[in-house]
Amino acid sequence: MKMKNHLFFVAVLIAAVSCSTPDIHEVIIPCPTEIEVLSGQVSLDESPDPVAVIGENVMDSPEGYELTIDKDGIVIKAGSETGVFYAHQTLKQLRYAYSGRRMPAVHILDAPRFEYRGMHLDVSRHFQGVEFVKKQLEMFASLKLNVFHFHLTDGIGWRLQIDRYPELTDIGAWKPAGWKYGDPTDLFASADSLDAVGGFYTKDDIREILAFADSLHITVIPEIEMFGHSSEVLTIYPELKCKGKTVQESTHPVNEFCIGNEKTFEFLENVLTEVIDLFPSEYIHIGGDEASMRHWAACPLCQKRMKKEGLTDVKELQSYGIARIEKFVNGKGRQIIGWEEIAKGGIAPNAALMSWRGVEAGQQATSTGHKVVFCPEPYCYFDAYQDEPIKLPEAMTNYVSLENTYSFDPAEGDFEGKDLIWGVQANLWTERVEEASHAEMMYYPRTFALAEVAWSLRENMDYDNFRKRAIRLSDKAREDGYTVFDLRTETGPRPGSVDSIEHLAVGASVTYADDFHNSDQFEKKGILTDGKCGPWSHRYPGWDTFAGTDADVTVDLGSVLKIKNIETSFASYGVRYGYFPLEVKYEVSLDGVNFETLSVMNGTKAADEKRPDFEKFEWKGRTKARYIRVFAARDTAFATRPGIWGSGRLMLDEVIVR
């Protein structure tokens, strides 16, 4: 009897060990092009060092590789050192997954889908040191990412040593002690000020980063922002601002270089000369985004420039400036790349473009013969919340989950010039990302998803399978000292925001008490009864907003029905945008004229000062009604507080009736 028990225990143990051995298809990120399982098993712990053979390109790609692991050892074939390097990255993931275990013999053929596979880091808002950058480069390379977009300058800080203009870092790299994002951006301190916060990279720092990146087969593309987002430069060198009485009286700060001023181009060309001498990348990023252009329209020098060049619109003035910078950069043997706004008024002849507001600008650029990197906000902006906001550190108020990023396909749909899709990139802006650990958590695991989007064939991609691999790789990243968002605790999309909710009011007509919602400007008709709750972010469809007024809506069910439950939810975005109602009242009516009050509920939840939060109001009982009125009283004291955007908003989602 004891022998039987012993044998049973051994059988259970063997089964448990077998179950814990991962499937070869649930290990590698990004997933390879082809995985062929061979006969037999091997131990990577006991295998000899790999033999690497450099010859012909694998799968017609200089970055492709062939990896064979069997009883005879490990053999790598590739057309370049880069291909060999990527094979080693795959091998490292296999070693981690099968440490102490035997794995199936395997033959892998692999090559990237896109040439450009990038990650971006904004160090202008919040500075991160050399070691942090090198640490991220190491992770990026392990995922076969090959471009690092280094956002070095912006209105809040200048982070690169420029010998000709030492004030850029003596002053523009430092903020007064206690400065926080949201304080005036033109507050700067000198480097020797007591407790000044900030920092910058010396040219030796950059050389160290570049050498490290080169060893990882990563190209570093620097960004020097122009013509907007430049208040740090203009604070130090005010002579580069637009001039004119109307400009000075404007309520909007001057953040754009004066394109009518020759000194602007002298400054930018001097800076770019040093940047080009330092960075070996073929492309130099020149920004070009979000210039307001309002000051150019009022500036005498800009108007004089427009008249001289025969320009009729300030958008054309920006294009003039970009084209002039492109000519200078081309003269140095390099190319420019910029954000999609560089196409306003006509894109410069040889420029590449980054499409970030969506995919339309990128598709338009490919159709006119320009290379494009897609990095659209709904999928590739890692400054957004990746899960339920209230349980995460403060971020920008949109929502980009791991699954959102994974779902992005830059080649989806029919459009001209698909062969000019250069690649994809994710961007980490740091307005609200101050600490290194927070930055890492914003990168990972979403960077894993971006890597697979950039490298793997769509037909090989499956989110459920990927999520298992992402959890495994997250565990390894934590062991290696990275801060990673824990997918095991993920809430996922806000309940009711993805799958339709069945309830009595779906499709019912809604009337509003305020003029805006009854006007032709209101585009969200039916949003309160479409069967979907609002998502974690107000920036995506699902929320009905009430600006400067109470929320007062009446739902017509179409006939008298028995009712036992009414639910509504409101969103608050704290000091930035939106607030909870003071009071919510539900009323019902049989005829739409005479209403009976069912419930009056006080708002009890305090708005979180930094993160989006949500409050649900609910009535339960028994009644009959055709019409349901929801009235929510706004907090007028909150709505008029300094710093509230758009006079504040009440944000209401689905009126759920059961």
Q: How many CB atoms lie within 10 A of CB 108?
A: 21
Q: How many CB atoms lie within 10 A of CB 35?
A: 18
Contact predicate 440/412, CB 8 Å? no
Q: Count CA within 13 A, CB hemisphere, residue 245.
A: 0
Compute the distance between CA of residue 470 and CA of residue 465 in angstroms, rounded to an integer: 9
Cis peptide before 570 (omega within 30 of 0): no
DSSP state of 11: H
Q: CA quadruple 495, 501, 505, 509: dihedral positive or negative?
A: positive
Contact predicate 529/654, CB 8 Å? yes
- Alpha-helical regions (H) of 98-230: 130-142, 167-170, 203-215
- β-bridge partners, 546: 650
Cis peptide before 127 (omega within 30 of 0): no
Compute the distance between CA of residue 325 and CA of residue 215 in angstroms, rounded to an integer: 31
Q: What are residue 62's phi and psi, to 5 degrees?
A: -65, -15
Compute the distance between CA of residue 174 and CA of residue 156 in angstroms, rounded to an integer: 9
- Alpha carbon separation from 115 to 147, 380, 414, 422 (Å, rounded): 10, 17, 20, 6
Active-site annotation, residues: 154, 229, 290
The residue assigned the tokens 């290696």 is: 480
Closest CA to 139 of 439, 457, 488: 439
24's tokens: 């070869």
317's tokens: 């003035």
DSSP state of 161: -
Count of helices and strands (H, E) across the chain: 18, 27
